[in-house]
């Protein structure tokens, strides 16, 4: 009985120490130093390594002063070892460590300053629209 219990404990330890899939996004931008929002949550500045839990589509927004704020959709398809039912074995039974890195590089564009003529036209449109707003009667 004691030997059986020792074998069971040994097997449980082996299962506890086996299998590990580590998933990471490696986000780079050109130029570096852009603030990254992944799926609406701020994560840090590029270059950046982020752990992720699920495969599929993710939304990355990059913000940097002097550059246009851009939102990109990127897909991270599941590799074969993460397809059901194989994912159970790669996560729990396989004794090694699996590193799944997904690298995304995003190019940012300079922010184009608005033309003075365009700003003056927009101001005129707003002024004209404001002139048509009725005045509220004074409270008595």
Residue 85: cis peptide before it, omega within 30 degrees of 0: yes
- Report the CATH number at residue 81: 2.60.40
**CA 113, 114, 117, 123 torsion-angle sign:** negative
What are 87-111's pLDDT values in tens digits? 777 777 778 888 889 999 999 999 8
pLDDT value, residue 99: 87
Neighbouring residues of 94: CB distance < 8 A, sequence distance ≥ 6: 18, 19
- 138 within some domain: no
Domain that holds residue 67: 20-131
What are 116-140's pLDDT values in tens digits? 998 999 999 999 998 888 888 888 6
Q: What percent of the chain has pLDDT over 70?
A: 86
Residue 6's pLDDT band, with cuts at 50, 70 and 90, is low
- 68 within some domain: yes
What are 52-100's pLDDT values in tens digits? 888 899 999 999 999 999 999 999 888 877 778 877 777 777 788 888 8
pLDDT value, residue 69: 94
Closest CA relative to residue 109, chosen from 48, 73, 64: 64
Considering the entire predicted model, what is its pTM? 0.64
pLDDT value, residue 7: 65
DSSP-assigned beta bridge partners for residue 70? 62
| Strand order across the beta sheet in which 56-63 lies | 41-45, 35-38, 56-63, 70-76
**CA 112, 117, 122, 123 torsion-angle sign:** positive
What are 26-38's pLDDT values in tens digits? 999 999 999 999 9
Task: Please tell me the total count of domains within the chain.
Answer: 1
- 13 within some domain: no
What is the C-alpha separation between 125 and 130, in angstroms, rounded? 9
pLDDT value, residue 13: 52
């Amino acid at each position: 009985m004691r030997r059986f219990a020792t074998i069971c404990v040994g097997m449980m330890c082996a299962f506890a120490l086996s299998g590990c899939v580590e998933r990471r996004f490696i986000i780079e931008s050109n130029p570096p130093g852009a603030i990254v929002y992944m799926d609406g949550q701020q994560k840090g500045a590029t270059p950046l390594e982020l752990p992720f839990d699920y495969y599929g589509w993710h939304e990355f927004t990059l913000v940097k002063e002097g550059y246009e704020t851009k939102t990109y959709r990127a897909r991270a398809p599941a590799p074969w070892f993460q397809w059901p039912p194989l994912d159970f074995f790669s996560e729990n039974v396989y004794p090694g460590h699996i590193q799944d890195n997904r690298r995304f590089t995003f190019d940012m564009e300079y922010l184009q300053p608005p033309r003075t003529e365009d700003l003056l036209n927009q101001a005129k449109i707003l002024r004209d629209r404001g002139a048509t707003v009725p005045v509220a009667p004074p409270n008595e």
